[in-house]
């Protein structure tokens, strides 16, 4: 057998050739998906409006005007989405509510991802009795109504906005843990994991350097699907009066207030609901697009 020998210069030239990475290819495929691209633009606009919009509007979040109670949407009055029962501008309140709803969705999701990925990788990688015990705990927690668990946390520890982040994140990690555990069991049987073990790498380094990076695609897709469910959960808690409290507001609070006034002031329900629907639909379409873009079987 003839073995071709390469010079050092040849090897340097080979190593210097840069191919497209999985994620750069996936991003290009995502941009070709019209539904996902449109959703990405809509979500970006809503986020930018929520973060920066209030600074460019003439009305303040707390400002009340008793001469402008229940004004319908009007360009002439400057209240583009109308006002509420205290004369406060609804557009400003929707944007401030968007800040809180999106923050809860993102932060609570990150909390659940950190817990779920850590828990799932440990259970899946080490296996055996540890895996059995850890997954039995997950099954027991699954049997508990997670919404009731969140409500109990809020009642016992008080209605604190930071506790709401942690409470929602603490009950949303179970599905992530099961998904990560299954993927980890599959990955740890691969040849490169065996090679890393033979080189003497510790289990911690193998998990950090090899297992978790190979789970990135699954985690990214799941995040886009979890954020909407967290926003809906926060909205439901706020609707029940257990979530965000005055003077703060969120889309859930605004929808709750609007539902009580919908017969006399329809705009108090329609506009916050429209922002929430657009955000949730955009996140779902982006999640679907990412799932297809990161799946090599689709291409």
Selection from 92, 115, 250, 257 nearest residue 177 by Cα? 115
pLDDT band at 141 (very low <50, low <70, confident <90, very high): confident
Report whether pLDDT(9) > 60.
Answer: no
Report whether pLDDT(78) > 70.
Answer: yes
Selection from 273, 286, 210, 204 nearest residue 239 by Cα? 273
3 state SS of 83? strand
Report whether pLDDT(203) > 50.
Answer: yes
* Overall average pLDDT of the 177-205 stretch: 87
pLDDT in tens, 52-73: 988 888 888 777 877 878 888 8
pLDDT of residue 48: 94
pLDDT of residue 2: 45
pLDDT band at 159 (very low <50, low <70, confident <90, very high): low
* Overall average pLDDT of the 114-133 stretch: 91
* Overall average pLDDT of the 242-246 stretch: 72
| Cβ neighbourhood burial of 203 (10 Å; 0-12, 13-18, 19+) | middle
CA dihedral angle for residue 54, residue 162, residue 236, residue 68, rounded to 10 degrees: -30
CB–CB of 40/281 below 8 Å? no
pLDDT of residue 22: 57
Concatenating the DSSP letter of every residue in 10-26 gives HHHHHHH--PPPHHHHH
Separation of alpha carbons 201 and 101, rounded Å:
42
At 89, give phi and psi (nearest 5°).
-70, 125
Domains, in order of start, for the chain = 45-86+93-298 (1.10.3720.10)
Q: pLDDT averaged over the chain?
A: 81
Report whether pLDDT(202) > 60.
Answer: yes
pLDDT of residue 3: 43
3 state SS of 85? coil
pLDDT band at 8 (very low <50, low <70, confident <90, very high): low
Residue 129: how many CA atoms within 13 Å on its side-chain side? 0
DSSP-assigned beta bridge partners for residue 89: 83
| Cβ neighbourhood burial of 69 (10 Å; 0-12, 13-18, 19+) | middle
Report whether pLDDT(15) > 70.
Answer: no
Contacts 24+ apart (CB under 8 A), 18-26: 22/217, 22/294, 23/216, 26/217, 26/290, 26/293, 26/294
| pTM metric for this prediction | 0.78
pLDDT in tens, 206-240: 888 888 888 887 888 888 888 888 888 877 777 77
pLDDT of residue 233: 80
3 state SS of 89? strand
Selection from 115, 135, 112, 227 nearest residue 181 by Cα? 135
Separation of alpha carbons 190 and 112, rounded Å:
27
Selection from 242, 279, 250 nearest residue 164 by Cα? 242
Selection from 21, 19, 18, 20 nearest residue 213 by Cα? 21
CB–CB of 156/162 below 8 Å? no
């Amino acid at each position: 057998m003839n073995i071709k020998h390469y010079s050092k210069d040849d090897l340097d030239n080979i190593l210097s050739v840069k191919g497209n990475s999985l994620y750069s290819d996936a991003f290009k495929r995502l941009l070709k998906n019209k539904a996902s691209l449109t959703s990405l633009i809509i979500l970006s606009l809503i986020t930018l409006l929520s973060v920066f919009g209030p600074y460019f509007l003439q009305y303040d979040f707390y400002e009340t005007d008793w001469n402008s109670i229940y004004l319908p949407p009007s360009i002439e009055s400057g209240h583009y989405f109308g006002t509420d029962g205290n004369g406060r501008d609804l557009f400003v309140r929707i944007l401030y509510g968007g800040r809180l709803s999106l923050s809860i969705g993102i932060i609570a999701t990150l909390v659940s991802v950190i817990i779920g990925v850590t828990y799932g990788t440990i259970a899946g990688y080490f296996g055996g009795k540890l895996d059995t015990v850890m997954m039995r705990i997950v099954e027991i927690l699954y049997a508990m109504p997670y919404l009731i668990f969140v409500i109990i946390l809020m009642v016992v520890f008080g209605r604190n906005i930071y506790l709401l982040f942690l409470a929602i994140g603490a009950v949303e990690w179970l599905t992530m843990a099961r998904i990560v555990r299954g993927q980890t069991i599959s990955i740890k049987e691969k040849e490169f994991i065996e090679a890393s073990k033979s080189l003497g790498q510790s289990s911690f380094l193998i998990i950090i350097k090899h297992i978790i990076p190979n789970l990135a695609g699954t985690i990214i897709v799941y995040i886009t699907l979890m954020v909407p469910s967290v926003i809906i959960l926060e909205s439901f808690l706020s609707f029940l009066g257990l979530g965000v409290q005055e003077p703060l507001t969120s889309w859930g609070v605004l929808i709750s207030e609007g539902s009580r006034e919908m017969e006399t002031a329809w705009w108090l329900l329609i506009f916050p609901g429209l922002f929430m629907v657009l955000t949730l639909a955009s996140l779902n379409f982006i999640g679907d697009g990412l799932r297809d873009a990161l799946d090599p079987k689709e291409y």
